[in-house]
Every structure is written in C-alpha cells, then in structure tokens.
Homo-oligomer: A and B are copies of this chain.
Amino acid sequence: MAISSRLSVAIHILALLEVNKGTRMTSEFIASSVNTNAVVVRRIMGMLNKAGLVTTNPGVAGASLTRPISQITLLDVYRAVEGEGCDHLFSIHEKPNPKCLVGRNIQGALESKYSQAQSAMENELQKITMDQVVMDILKDAQAAPSN
C-alpha cells in the first residue's frame, strides 16, 4: 500500500505558507486550494505545529513557518505527518512458526534488509528541501503565467 496523502497535503500547506507569506490564510482558504475539508487542513497543520515546523495561534488565522523553507526537508515533513508510522515502512507478518528454521529467523533477516531500503528512501527525502519544491512550483508559474 502507498504512503498516505497527508505528506502531499502537508507539503502543499507549507508551500502556500511560503508563497503567500504576507497574508493570513484561514484553514478554509487553504482547504480550497488543496481541495479538501478545512478540518483536514487543521489536523495536518496541528501535526506540523507539534513537530515545530509552523507556529499557529488558536482562534486567529495565519500560521507561519518557524524557519526558512531552505531548512525544511521532506523528511522533516514526512516524520511530522506519519509519526510512529515512519519507523516501519515495510510490514512484517507476525508470529511465524518458531519450530521452523525459516520461521524462527525470518523476522530478524527482514528487518536488517528493510532498514537498508528504508534508510535509502529517507536519505533521499532529507536531501530535498521545501524551497526546491517551491522553486518547482514557481518555475512552472513563469512558463505559464496566469496570476
């Protein structure tokens, strides 16, 4: 199964915060750009807040980034929205038969291999910063300006 779209929505939110840095956006406004419900936005914004990536003020619109987007990596965002789920990208079947040689040792063998693949992915996410994403978005905007 795929990784949930929370990461994509979170990146979308952070990009909006950067691009519209001056203005105070409501969760309703952000939701209309993402095309989802405002509660979903607030839920994810809450995770970004808890992870220390944004600052929010209860009751008042307009979240803000806590640091320059060049210092926010996709790994930061991924961990913010996936929480504990980050630890195990690959699921391992539970309780294989300990009476069987393979059943007894498969879990350990899988864990060591899986962690290699997972680390490779995380390292790549860490290399990508939010400002690269924003640049991509703005670059496309120059090619086809309509703002």
List residues of chain A with CB under 8 Å of any chain B CB. Answer: 1-5, 7-9, 11-12, 15-16, 19, 32-36, 74, 85, 88-97, 100-106, 108-110, 112-113, 116-121, 123-125, 127-128, 132-133, 136-138, 140-141, 146-147
Contacts and interface: CB of A to CB of B under 8 A. Distances in A.
A108 to B, nearest CB: 6
Question: What copy number does this chain have within its complex?
Answer: 2
Contact of A101 (B3, B128, B133, B137): B137
Contacts of A85: 1-2
A117 B123 CA distance: 8
Contacts of A117: 74, 121, 124-125, 128
A96 B40 CA distance: 14
Secondary structure type dominating chain A contacts: helix
